[in-house]
Structure 1
Amino acid sequence: MDGPFAVGFLGAGQMATALAGGWTAAGLLDLPRCRAADPSPEARAAFSKATGVEAVGQNAHVTACDILVLAVKPQYVADVLAEIRPALQPRHLVISIAAGVTLAQLTAGLGDAVRIVRVMPNTPCLVGASASGYATRGDGPDAAVVGKLFGAVGQAVRVSESQLDAVTGLSGSGPAYVYVMIEALADGGVKAGLPRDVAQKLAAQTVLGAAKMVLDTGRHPGALKDAVASPGGTTIAGLHALERAGVRAALMDAVEAATRRASELGKKE
């Protein structure tokens, strides 16, 4: 499968919309053959408006596509799998982005013969900057297809399935942590006298630039931090304030809490 792909989205929420938009921008979707399904009329309307892909209320309609993206909340997965199972054929590849739902659980719902891949992406795929982890049951061509799709909307890393809950806690939930950081940095700028729009732009660009430095240079973040913090200067004073407030431990706790919750959601299924 080289693409463009006929992709069906089971669930037309925020993540499905982001993926469809990103893949469309990357030229990977055969749009006339793509479909989406969601029980919410509002979600269907928003998805179609944003992507140009037809969205309907019946999941069975989506099985006309070759690749099926399972993008529903974990508590709805079992019902959706039962609905689509009779229509699945060897040509279908099921990509699940449902947090915490294991390959074993997906296989139990769809059967041993179905090709299944688990992926944990995040919403920046809409702007081509996603961080995704994925796990497969083997080393066949399906892994290459998933790598191509999710690599087109950011960075895609293959991991063992046992690590996917940690991916959920880190990069899956991580954008929300970073948005809090950007908002707080901007608030600090406003408190220091900057106009709100200027502070927000500077804060967001600072986070973007720092992340790009880590990715492009390959240097450890601690080394890059040390390069900015001159003796007795402004940066080390700010870093001291962060350490005193426990920001580092709070971020670690956030990743741990989200990882634990992802595991709990999977066990409920």
Structure 2
Amino acid sequence: MTVAIIGAGRIGEALLAGLLKSGFDPAGIVVAEKDSARAAAVSTQHGVRATTPKDAAAGAELLVIAVKPQDMASLLAEIGPALEPAALVVSLAAGITLDFLQSHLPAGTPVVRVMPNTPLLVGEAMSALSAGGHVGEEQLERAEALLGSVGRVVRVPESQLDAATALSGSGPAYFFYLIDAMIEAGVLLGVPRALATELMVQTALGSARMLRESGEHPALLREAVTSPAGTTAAALAELDRRAVRGAILDALTAARDRSVELGRPR
């Protein structure tokens, strides 16, 4: 399979690195980037060929588009005539709907829309994938294999993609926000910042592994840490008093609503 990646920014390059790490032949990958210096740097570093978007689209069996949403319409107009008839187009652009992609590409083009998140940069992405009407099962599996090189992949109907954006797409920022606040609390309590950071980062990593590997509901894991009238119980009572759970529900609803707004026709 020949893969073309248009857009060699952080996300596009991370996907490229994941493909190569998973054993994909660099001879089967081309990259395209409007910044020629950036394209040359990525090409040299990873040993893949760099070319123009139109040439990248020509001959590619799977075409990944990792450009800014505002650049999408002009890019699709440029590459559409060059696409192979059965080429699968995978869009990583936020807010760009399947209808938009299909209406700006030749009729019948198989299109997949993906919402990844930034842990893609360390091979631990959570990607939500929605397929257009012309995508076959084999093509869908190809897209999943591609994204699986940098993390986990789930299929969702496009009607749920805005919610997935609020949950996992924006999710890393919520965790960074929380960890940052906990580090600041450590400093306030007299712990050196470097030590507070180490304590919280490892705690976050270990807690995530417990969630994944135990298969337990997070409420059960929380209860296992919470001794009656203990320190954890006191902290959780304060969070409940401040209505933190309700604030989280409202925050994610706001993120979902903003995703819907960004996806409306311009």
The two structures have a TM-score, normalised by structure 2, of: 0.89
Q: Choose which of 53, 57, 72 in structure 2 pairs with 1:59.
A: 53
Stretch moving more, 116-125 or 14-23: 14-23
1:111 equivalenced with 2:106 (yes/no): yes
Structure 1: tracts of 5 or more residues without a match: none
Q: CA deviation at 1:96?
A: 0.7
Using the TM superposition, give the Cα deviation of residue 220 of structure 1 relative to its aligned residue in structure 2, in angstroms: 1.4
Structure 2 counterpart of 1:71, from 66, 74, 93: 66
Alpha-carbon deviations, 1:198-251, whole Å to 9, x = none?
221221121122222222222211111111111011111111222233332333
Task: Tell me how far apart the structure 2 counterparts of residues 6 and 248 of structure 1 sit (CA, whole Å).
Answer: 46
Structure 2: how far apart are the matches of 1:175 and 1:229?
Answer: 25
Offset at residue 267 of structure 1 (A): 1.0
Q: Of the candidates 161, 169, 172, which is equivalent to residue 175 of structure 1?
A: 172
Contact 1:169/1:256 (<8 A) preserved: yes
Q: Does 1:80 align with 2:75?
A: yes
For structure 2, which runs of at least 5 residues remain unmatched after alignment?
none
- Whole-Å Cα distance in 2 between the matches of residues 17 and 246 of structure 1? 40
What residue is the counterpart of 1:22 in the other structure? 18
Q: Which amino acid is the alignment partner of residue 154 of structure 2?
A: V
AA matched with 2:219:
G
Supply the AA of the counterpart residue of 1:140. E
Structure 2 residue identity aligned to 1:129: E
**Comparing 66-75 with 41-50, which one deviates more in the overlay?**
41-50
Q: For 1:117-171, what per-residue CA distance to the aligned partner results, in whole angstroms no more than 9, with x for missing partners?
A: 1111112122221111111135520111122222232211111111111111111
Q: 1:134 aligns with which of 129, 134, 138?
A: 129
The letter for the 1-side match of 2:261 is E
Asked if the contact 1:12–1:43 (Cα under 8 Å) also holds between the matched residues in 2, the reply is yes
- Give the aligned partner of residue 206 of structure 1: 203
The 1:253/1:62 distance shift into structure 2, 3 A limit, reads: farther
- In the aligned structure 2, how far is the partner of 1:55 from the partner of 1:96? 19
TM-score (norm. length: structure 1): 0.89
2: distance between equivalents of 1:199 and 1:233? 21
**Cα drift, residue 90 of structure 1:** 2.5
**Does structure 1 retain, via aligned residues, the 8 Å contact 2:8–2:31?**
yes
Find the counterpart in structure 2 of residue 10 from structure 1.
6
Distance 2:11 2:240 in 1: 34
SS in 2 for 1:12: coil
Cα contact 2:55–2:82 (8 A) shared by 1 = no
Task: State the shift of 1:41 in Å.
Answer: 4.7
Which residue in 2 is equivalent to 1:222?
A: 219
- The alignment partner of 1:112 has SS state of coil
CA 1:267–1:10 in structure 2 vs 1: closer, same or farther (change >3 Å)?
same
- 1:243 aligned residue (217, 240, 243): 240
Number of residue pairs matched?
Answer: 263
Percent sequence identity is 44
Q: Which has the higher contact order (CA 8 A, sep 6+)?
A: 1
- Give the C-alpha shift of residue 48 in structure 1: 4.3
Distance 1:17 1:176 in 2: 21
- Which residue type is aligned with residue 13 of structure 2? T
Q: Could you tell which deviates more after superposition, 169-178 or 238-247?
A: 238-247
Q: Which amino acid aligns with 2:25?
A: D
- Aligned-residue CA RMSD in angstroms? 2.1
Q: Tell me, in whole angstroms, the C-alpha distance in 2 between the residues paired with 1:125 and 1:151.
A: 10
Partner of 1:34: 29
Report SS of the residue matched to 1:114. Answer: coil
